[in-house]
Each structure stands twice: as C-alpha cells, then as structure tokens.
C-alpha cells in the first residue's frame, strides 16, 4: 500500500484519538513517513518537531517538503474500522441472489467497487464477515499492492454452516448447492475438512453459523442452532492449529455459549446474551460485533420490499435483544466492534456509519464510546491493535479529517462529502483534498450557502 514519505502536519481541529479520552481542542497531529510522531495540543508539541515544521528544509528528508492540512475547525480522528464487512455482498434484493445471480468474475469487480466506496466513507480498515469464493483474500492483496483503493483488510473466505442450517437454503431439487458462499458440513470431520480448505485459500478468519436468524423463521430462526458444539470445537481446533481465527453468527443464547466454550475469537451479533454468557464474554475478553443496523433497516424497509411480517417481527425481537446485550457488554467493560452487515438492497454499501449514529441515538452509547468501538476495538479485532486504531505516536497514520464536531453530532460521519481527508499511512486517499479543484470550489460555495 502506498504510504506518505516526509513530514506532514494536520492542524486547526479538535483531536478525538480513538481511546475514548475527551477531545483535545486546538490539536496537531504530526506524521513522518506515514507514522504518527505526535498527536496532542498544538501548544505542547515538542520543540524539535515544531522547529522542523517551521523549517522543513532541515528535516531528514529535505526533498519531501512539509505538507500542512487545515482541519478548518473540525475533527481529526482515526480512520474507521468496519468490523463486519462483506465486500462481496452486492446489495442483493434476496438472499438467494448472493450465490447465483452473477459469476465470480463480476462479483470480484463489484467487491472492488465496494472496497473503494468503503474507503471513501472513511473506513481505512475492515475485517471481513464472510466472502463469496475466495475473493476477499485476493481483494486484500490488490489493495495492499495499490492496484485498487480500499480499506486494509482482514480476509474471510466461504462461510461454514451445518447441512440444513441457515445458509443451506437451496432445496436439493434445484441441484445447485451453495458452492460460492458456504461450505456445508455434517459432523466434526467435515468441519475440519472445511477449515483445511480455507487454510489453503489463505484466509485469516473462519466465519461460521452456530445459529439461525430471523430471516429464516420456519426452520432456522434466531433461536435455532445450526452447528453442534462438536462441529464448532473441531473448527476452532483446526483453525487455531494453523493460526486462523474463528468467528460466528451467534444469535441464540445456547449458540453464544457454545461459541465461547469452543474458544471462538470473536462473536458476531451476540444477540441474546444471558448472565452466564455475559460472564464468559467478560472473563475471556471476547470482542462482540453486534451489527445491528441490518436489523433496523430490515424493520424500516422490510414492508416496501415485501418482507413477510413474521420475518420483520423476528428482526424486531433481534434488534431489541441485540441492543440490550450490547449495552450490558459495554457497561460490564467488554469490547464491541462496529459493523453493520451492509450489502443488501435495504442495507446497502455506503451506509456504514449509520451503525454509529444508531448506537448513539437508539442503543444509548456515548459518541466517544462508539468511536472507540469503531476505531481502537476494530483494530484489535483485526489483530492490528499495535499498528492501527488510535492516533498515538508510533501508529500508522490512518486518519480522518472531518468538517464539524463528530462528538456533538456523530451523524456527520454518514456524509462522505464532509471528509476533508481520508488518509492511510499519511497518504491522502479520499476526501475533498483528492477532488479536482472545481469540485472543491463547488463544495465551498455549497458550504457558504448553508452558512447564510
């Protein structure tokens, strides 16, 4: 991935560093060769750095002049991390479309477009929540090699589910299986075989389906189990042996406990958490990614797309349970990642930051807690907490420079036109600063009109 060389400084904005600490007014962030050297009050910047900024010719790399980014009184914060990203879900109108509508070649191109969009939306990193074929692994490589723009990725592969479970929705008479999306298993031996396929594919995360979902109310609803404990344990033992991590779609209480006992590294959704499950989550410090905006969007937009009432009712129960569990986990000191399961017609790519507003306005998280979940915890889930996720010296300069006060109004992050700069390793990859001058001028006129 192309990162910046030389010295640059971002000034004239408040710093929200991603740790959950209160904002620092009138801050400065100094970046050298793509890495943060200083993040704090502009007034207390170390004298040697301040001198070099004033006189960049004295810098170690004199051929790279100091670049100055003006935050225009807005916010300087870490790049966001989508902790449940489906680059290959192409805004499908029906679940069945995922596996059969397009060939892998076209889905790959769509996934690249989704990755570019995510970066433009301020998401500088993403952990995959499951992928069609082995597209994520190659998408990650293309992003790292600078072939296509996108978030730094942690790749998943095809998802593992028990035969007859949530993801095995094609009846046998169709004779089409679920080749691109799911590895279907019966028993621990087949679970091991499925993980071994993924090991060969080179993915980092194994996504499984321990439970059902409101989307399948008849035989695989949100209180149904779709894998046995023995299957889940076989997945974890095999994955961990090869250095892969395991996560799973966990709604039903017993499925959550099975996942925790089997040694899962994270839980997706963690919807119906009881006292015992909460205790295990906290004791084992297992991060949970609730991904609730999918539920909200299903309830709001379900009727217009003909979603059966039974399904919408199930999503309502899921949303209430998921919101309550997320709040309990936060209050107990647990870790939560932000990701919204985007990639459906009613919950499309580009809406990622709606998850953040939802957690503030509906679930009751503070904006600073929400931002910490969406940055620091996201990076930790990816296994890159030492490199990414906060604006602190020594971290990679994945930075957002945003118009306005995101602590006062977190919904600002939903509007990508308000990003002055989206940076990866100190290089500006998206935002107003990358747009042609005429676009920038148009945006300034628009802002001037709004201010009137």
Q: What is the binding site for Zn ion (CB under 5 A)?
A: 129, 341
Residue among 341 and 355 whose Cβ is closer to Zn ion = 341
C-beta atoms surrounding 436 within 10 Å = 8
> Hey, which residues does 7 pair with through a beta bridge?
32
In angstroms, what is the minimal distance from the CB of 207 to Zn ion?
8
Q: CB-based burial of residue 229 (10 Å sphere; 0-12 exposed, 13-18 middle, 19+ buried)?
A: middle
What is the 8-class DSSP label of residue 78?
A: E
Residue among 166 and 273 whose Cβ is closer to Zn ion = 166
As a whole number of angstroms, the distance between CA 413 and CA 411 comes to 5
Residue among 8 and 220 whose Cβ is closer to Zn ion = 220
In angstroms, what is the minimal distance from the CB of 141 to Zn ion?
22
Listed residue (428, 349, 269, 369) closest to 87, CA to CA:
349
What is the 8-class DSSP label of residue 344?
A: B
In angstroms, what is the minimal distance from the CB of 85 to Zn ion?
9
Listed residue (118, 39, 25) closest to 407, CA to CA:
25
In angstroms, what is the minimal distance from the CB of 426 to Zn ion?
32
Residue among 98 and 410 whose Cβ is closer to Zn ion = 98
In angstroms, what is the minimal distance from the CB of 203 to Zn ion?
15
In angstroms, what is the minimal distance from the CB of 310 to Zn ion?
21
Residue among 78 and 343 whose Cβ is closer to Zn ion = 343
In angstroms, what is the minimal distance from the CB of 194 to Zn ion?
18
Residue among 355 and 403 whose Cβ is closer to Zn ion = 355
196 three-state secondary structure: helix
In angstroms, what is the minimal distance from the CB of 428 to Zn ion?
31
Give DSSP secondary structure letters for 111-178: HHHHHHHHHHTTEEEEEES--STTHHHHHHHHHHTTSS---EEE-B-SEEEETTSTT--S-GGG--TT
C-beta atoms surrounding 230 within 10 Å = 13
Residue among 129 and 322 whose Cβ is closer to Zn ion = 129
As a whole number of angstroms, the distance between CA 323 and CA 347 comes to 18
Residue among 39 and 250 whose Cβ is closer to Zn ion = 250
What is the 8-class DSSP label of residue 413?
A: G
């Amino acid at each position: 991935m192309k990162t910046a060389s030389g010295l640059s400084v971002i000034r004239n904005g408040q710093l929200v560093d991603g740790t959950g600490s209160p904002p620092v007014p009138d801050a400065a962030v100094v970046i050298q060769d793509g890495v943060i050297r200083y993040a704090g009050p502009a007034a207390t910047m170390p004298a040697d750095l301040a001198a070099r900024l004033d006189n960049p010719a004295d810098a170690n790399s004199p051929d790279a002049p100091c670049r100055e980014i003006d935050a225009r009184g807005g916010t300087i914060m870490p790049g966001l991390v989508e902790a449940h990203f489906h680059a290959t879900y192409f805004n499908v109108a029906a679940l069945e479309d995922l596996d059969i509508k397009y060939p892998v070649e076209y889905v790959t191109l769509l996934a690249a477009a989704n990755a570019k969009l995510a970066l433009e939306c301020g998401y500088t990193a993403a952990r995959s929540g499951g992928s069609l074929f082995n597209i994520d692994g190659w998408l990650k490589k293309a992003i790292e090699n600078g072939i296509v723009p996108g978030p730094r990725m942690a790749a998943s592969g095809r998802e593992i589910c028990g035969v007859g479970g949530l993801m095995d929705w094609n009846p046998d008479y169709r004779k089409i299986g679920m080749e691109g999306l799911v590895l279907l298993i019966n028993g621990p031996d087949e679970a091991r075989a499925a993980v071994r396929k993924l090991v060969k594919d080179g993915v980092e995360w194994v996504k499984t389906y321990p439970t059902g979902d409101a989307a399948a109310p008849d035989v695989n609803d949100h209180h149904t189990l779709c894998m046995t404990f023995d299957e889940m344990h076989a997945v974890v033992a095999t994955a961990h042996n090869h250095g892969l991590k395991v996560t799973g779609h966990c709604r039903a209480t017993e499925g959550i406990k099975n996942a925790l006992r089997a040694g899962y590294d994270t839980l997706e959704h963690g919807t119906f958490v009881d006292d015992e499950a909460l205790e295990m989550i906290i004791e084992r410090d297992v991060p949970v990614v609730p991904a609730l905006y999918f539920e909200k969007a299903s309830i709001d937009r379900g009727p217009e797309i003909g979603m059966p009432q039974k399904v919408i009712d199930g999503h309502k129960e899921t949303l209430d349970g998921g919101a309550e569990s997320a709040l309990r986990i936060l209050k107990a000191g647990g870790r939560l990642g932000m990701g919204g399961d985007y990639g459906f017609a009613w919950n499309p790519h580009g809406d990622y930051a709606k998850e953040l507003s939802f957690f503030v306005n509906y679930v009751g998280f503070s904006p600073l807690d929400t931002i910490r979940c969406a940055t620091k915890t996201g990076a930790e889930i990816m296994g890159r907490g030492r490199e990414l996720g906060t604006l602190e010296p020594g971290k990679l300069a994945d930075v957002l420079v945003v118009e306005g006060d995101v602590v006062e109004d977190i919904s600002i992050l939903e509007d990508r036109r308000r990003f002055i700069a989206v940076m990866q390793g100190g290089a500006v990859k998206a935002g107003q600063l990358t747009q042609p001058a005429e676009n920038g001028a148009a945006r300034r006129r628009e802002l001037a009109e709004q201010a009137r």
